[in-house]
Amino acid sequence: MQILEQIRYEPAQVTGGYTDQLLRINLTTLQITIQDLPPDFKNKYVGGRGYALKLIWDGTGRETRYDSPENILVMASGPLGNEPGFPGTGKFIIGTISPLTDTFIDSNIGGHFGPLLKLAGFDALAVSGIAQADLVIVIDADSRSISIMAAPAYDKENDEGSLSFGQRLLQDLNGGEHSDSLAAVTAGKGAGNARFGIINSLYYDKKRQRIRSKQAGRGGTGTVMRTKGLRGIVVRSSRSKANGNNAIDKEGVRKAGSRLKEVIATSDPKQLHLSAWGTTVLSEYMNKFHLFPINNYQYGQSAESAKLFAGVFLDRYFTKNMPDGCYYGCNLACSKSAENVELTLGPYAGRKINVDGPEYETVGAVSCMGIFDPHFVLEYNWYCDEYGLDTISAGATIGFFMECFERGFITADDIGYALNFGNMEAVDRLLHEIAHAEGFGKVVGQGVARGKQWVAKKHAARAGISRDAALAELSKFAMEVKGLEFSMYVTKESLAQQGGYGFALKGPQHDESWLIFIDQVHKELPTFEDKANALKWFPLVRTWFNATGLCKLPWIDVRNPEAAATDEPAKNLPTLTYYVDYFNATTGSNKTLQDLLDDSERLYILQKLVNLRQGKGTRASDQIPLRAMGPVFGNEYDSRAEYYDGWLKEQLGDTALPDSPEKKHELLVARRIEAYQKLCDIVYEKKGFSPDGIPERKTVEKFGLMDEQAEKLLREFGM
Amino acid sequence: MAQKMMVSVKFLGMQRVITRKDAINIPLTGGLRVHDVFELVRNRYPDLNLDEETTFATVNQEKASLDRLLSTNDTISFLPYISGG
């Protein structure tokens, strides 16, 4: 491969989880710079999402869009990433300005890239600029060099595919051999042709003896990477992964890790069995409680759903009794995989491929399109990964267009073919059109927020109504907030999760809060006050995980038996104490859980400021589509009439229910909208925001974030 | 002949694999509570590893306490806590 620029460097040692070095690469100027981070940087911004936020806050502006040269693609683990003695430490964050939301997006991703980047001497990598021709970056700690190279030209398949390209690249850079000292991130051709492009994280799995992949799925990080002309980044370090963080208190790390591993080993087999089934286990539970996002989130349950339950994937596809952690030392090991799956659709039909997944969200996305075929799930999963498309946004967007088609907002002439729910052939065709920016795929690849504008124009002209009127109708079931598509849960029966999606700073992704069960099923959040408290606390804990390089599942999806004796079992506080101990032992700190939550709140407020600057930070941006609150159409009401009637009766007390279904529906919608607005008021107060959702000056000052930019911004908003 | 009054226990997820059943029926005796059914299932299927600290019960899809009195045709499930990844 042709080297365009190269520097020599001495990889910094890791001490207490940090290297205190940032690698900056400008693809326009081909400049490679290693920057020392000042000591207070880590104290204030922690790592991962915090580092990405600070770099975006300082390095981009209000006019910055995803394809602006100054947009920065940040990749950062965190102080607790890279410790085989503690479960779930392979995570890293990719943060940037999103092509979907025009504001900050971060997506967490597993694999070896984050840990190896740290071992190669860097807490974070920040890529800016736009290359003139496609490039790859190679950070090689073993040879003490960092190189920008012309992207190799392989054959058409390798050049278009994210997985294929990454596998070939990793082999080429290691003399044709696989090694767990190398890892890569890549973006496929589809990522450049759609706004919901993903980045694949590729690593060598010694047990399976092949390259595996995890994905940064949400918000179009892959689109940014591809737009920059960056096809891949490879990192290599042969430094020992054991005690890779060079913890200050190694025995403390060992103890904390042992305690968590013990809870996982004894409790996961009694609970979700993630180690056996991965997250596909959730499909059955979501279906049971009317949460499965069937037909564009219209219905939460279907008799056909059983075809997509975990047992089906385990029986037919998953390798059994294979611990599948995405990084060393994780005994939750939920990264399930199916091998030698024969493709029956698309350009590679007939080929046998390995599918890393599916995760629950991909299964949900297929149900969102009204499809209940497990083999299709695997094919959809693989093609999305190979092309570089987010399975969630692709499924939600196609589901939206299917509903537009079925309700007559668009026609087969508009699309080029019929696009009804459950039509596998149409989805297969459309998926490849999206990846190649052909036909109707060019429209769908823009996502729901832009897609509904396209439909509104068509429908308004045909129906003789204003475009605004058409848009208002479509917005009721266009499942996006801030420009990001919903992840795969129906929220009609959980006000707390409506807030969980609406207030999520990046848009409706559940990694800020997932309160459906404690609200809807356990009924542990009966009051607005309870819901608001949860909507403050859970996002702070979850933000902390994204700042430190950790996977949340060992905390949130394995209930510690000791939690039963606590006041709020859902917080799983006994397990959180292991994390506090792990943080302190690694970094040499003496922090309490509240200290860590305060650190996290600083990042949360900083992200809110970025949103405000980018036009996505006020109450208007937190509003959710009607379908997230309740039924939009009569068929939805009818499918859960008993529940909705019961809910209305509770609300009305002694007042009689209206007689007609239409009047009941109308009343329900009015009450649901009212409830959401009341929730906004209370949540904003809890978070230290004005009624318009803007942080109060004292909130910004409390966390030391009142720099010149923040001062000017708050003044603009009258604060 | 009069039909026996029954309640049913529906198995989900790995429980179905371990028990090799979708559901079992249990005769409804006077004063039968969720806890009695929990104990019965735990004893009949020890491999389920059910424990009270990490399991909750539903009766007819609604969360129920272990001391809830059961009625004929009630459907009971014992589920893990789920908090969303």
List phi, psi (to 5°) of A549.
Answer: 90, 25
Mean predicted confidence (pLDDT) in B8-23: 93
Size of interface A-B (CB pairs under 8 A): 86
Burial A511-543, CB ≥16 within 10 A → b, else e: bbbbbbbbbbbbebbeebeebbbbbbebbbbbb
For A160-170, what is the mean pLDDT? 96
Q: Which of residues 3-22 of B touch A (CB under 8 A)?
A: 12-14, 16-17
Interface test with B, best of A215, A273, A277, A643 (most B CBs within 10 A): A273
Burial A554-579 (b: 16+ CB within 10 A, else e): bbbbbbbeebeeeeebbbbbbbbebb
For residues B73-82, average pLDDT: 94
pLDDT at A460: 98
What is the pLDDT, as a whole number, of residue A323? 82
Domains with residue ranges and CATH for chain B: 6-80 (3.10.20.30)
Query: Which tokens is A507 given?
Result: 């848009």
Task: Give the span between the Cα atoms of A695 and A8, in whole angstroms.
Answer: 44
Q: Is B83 touching A (CB cutoff 8 A)?
A: yes
Q: In a 3-state reduction of DSSP, which class is residue A603?
A: helix
Average pLDDT of chain A to the nearest whole number: 97
Reply yes or no on whether the pLDDT at A696 is more than 90.
yes
Contact by Cβ (8 Å): B80, B54: yes
Q: How confident is the model at residue A158, as a pLDDT?
A: 87
Strand partners, A201: A185, A214
Q: Are B23 and B11 in contact (CB under 8 A)?
A: yes
Residues of B in contact with A564 (CB under 8 A): 52-54
Phi, psi of A105 (to 5 degrees): -125, 140
Best probe of the B interface among A91, A214, A266, A271, by most B CBs < 10 A, is: A271
Structural tokens at position A701: 């000052």
Exposure pattern of A195-216 as b/e (b: 16+ CB <10 Å)?
bbbbbbbbbbbeeeeebbbbbb
| Mean pLDDT calculated for residue range A49-74 | 98
Residues of A in contact with B55 (CB under 8 A): 270
Closest CA to A289 of A456, A518, A47: A518
Pairwise CA distance, residues A56 & A66, whole Å: 12
Q: What is the CA radius of gyration of chain A?
A: 24
Whether A590 shows a pLDDT value over 90: the answer reads: yes
Distance from CA of B1 to the nearest CA of A (A): 33
Tell me whether residues A556 and B84 touch, CB distance under 8 A: yes
Rounded Cα distance, A190 and A195, in Å: 9
Q: How far apart are CA A91 and CA A698, in angstroms?
A: 33
May I ask the CATH architecture of the domain A272-485?
Answer: Orthogonal Bundle (1.10)
The pLDDT of residue B3 is 67
Query: Which residues have CB under 8 Å from A470's CB, separation 6+?
Result: A409, A455, A456, A457, A459, A460, A463
Cis geometry, peptide bond prior to residue A691 (ω within 30 degrees of 0): no
pLDDT above 90 covers what percent of chain A? Answer: 96
* CB contacts, 8 Å: B53 with chain A: 559, 561-564
Residue of B nearest to A521 (CA): B63
What SS3 class is residue A627? helix
Say if residue A588 is exposed, middle or buried (CB neighbours under 10 Å; 0-12, 13-18, 19+): middle
Query: pLDDT class for B2, splitting at 50, 70, 90?
Result: low
**To which residue do tokens 């971060």 refer?**
A106
Indicate the DSSP class of residue A197: B
CB within 8 Å of A204: residues ≥ 6 apart: A112, A170, A178, A179, A180, A182, A183, A210, A211, A212
Contact A221, A199 (CB under 8 A): yes
Instruction: Please choose, from the candidates A305, A307, A324, the residue with its C-alpha nearest in 3D space to the C-alpha of residue A315.
Output: A307
Strands (DSSP E) contained in A391-495 are 480-481, 484-485
Q: Which of B11, B54, B66, B78 to mutate against chain A (most A CBs within 10 Å)?
A: B54
Q: Are A76 and A43 in contact (CB under 8 A)?
A: no
8 Å CB contact between A132 and A22: no
Mean pLDDT, residues A546-554:
97
Give A526's contacts (C-beta < 8 A, 6+ positions apart): none
Q: Mutual orientation of helices A708-716 and A593-613 as an angle, nearest 10°? A: 60
Band the pLDDT of A61: cuts 50, 70, 90: very high
pLDDT in tens, A430-478: 999 999 999 999 999 999 999 999 999 999 999 999 999 999 999 999 9
Q: Between the CA of residue A452 and those of A387, A439, A485, A635, what are the distances in Å? A: 24, 17, 12, 22
Span A424-429, mean pLDDT? Answer: 98
B46 contacts chain A (CB < 8 A): no
Name the fold adopted by A518-558+591-716. Answer: 1.10.599
Give B54's pLDDT tier (boundaries 50, 70, 90). confident
| Location of structure tokens 């892959």 | A222
Please give the span between the terminal C-alpha atoms of chain A, in angstroms, as a whole number. 54
**Residue type at A335?**
S
Q: Where are the beta strands (DSSP E) in A191-320?
A: 199-205, 210-216, 230-236
Using DSSP's 3-state secondary structure scheme, residue A135 falls into: strand
Distance (Å) from the alpha carbon of B22 to chain A's nearest alpha carbon:
12
Under an 8 A CB cutoff, do B80 and A270 touch? Answer: yes
B42 and B50 in contact (C-beta within 8 Å)?
Answer: yes
Given this model, what pLDDT does residue A545 score?
98
CB contact under 8 Å between A553 and B79, yes or no, is: no
Confidence of residue B53 (pLDDT cuts 50, 70, 90): confident
Give the residue-averaged pLDDT of B4-29.
Answer: 93
Under a CB-based contact definition with an 8 Å cutoff, are residues A456 and A448 in contact?
no
Q: What number is the ipTM of this complex?
A: 0.92
B34: distance to nearest CA of chain A, Å? 16
* Mean pLDDT value of segment A282-294: 96
pLDDT of the residue at B37: 97
pTM, two decimal places: 0.97
Of A267, A276, A285, the CB nearest to B82: A285
Task: Give residue A511's pLDDT.
Answer: 85
Q: Is the dihedral of CA A541, A360, A287, A365 positive or negative?
A: positive
Residue A323: CB atoms within 10 Å: 13
Residue B59, both tokens: 């009766």
Using DSSP bridges, classify how beta strands A135-140 and A230-236 pair: parallel, antiparallel or unpaired.
parallel
Report whether pLDDT(B19) > 80.
yes
Please say if the pLDDT value at position B1 is more than 70.
Answer: no
**Percent of chain A at pLDDT above 70?**
100
pLDDT digits (tens, 9 = 90+) for A482-501: 999 999 999 999 999 999 99
Pairwise CB contact (< 8 Å): B12 & A272: no
SS3 content of chain B, % helix, strand, coil (to 5): 25, 30, 40
CB contact under 8 Å between B83 and A556, yes or no, is yes
Its CATH architecture, for the domain A3-236, is 4-Layer Sandwich (3.60)
Residue A322 has pLDDT above 90, yes or no: no
Name the band, by pLDDT with cuts 50, 70 and 90, for residue B14.
Answer: confident
Residues of A in contact with B79 (CB under 8 A): 285
In chain A, what are the domain boundaries? 3-236, 272-485, 518-558+591-716
SS3 state of residue A649: helix
Across the interface, do A559 and B80 touch by the CB < 8 Å criterion?
yes
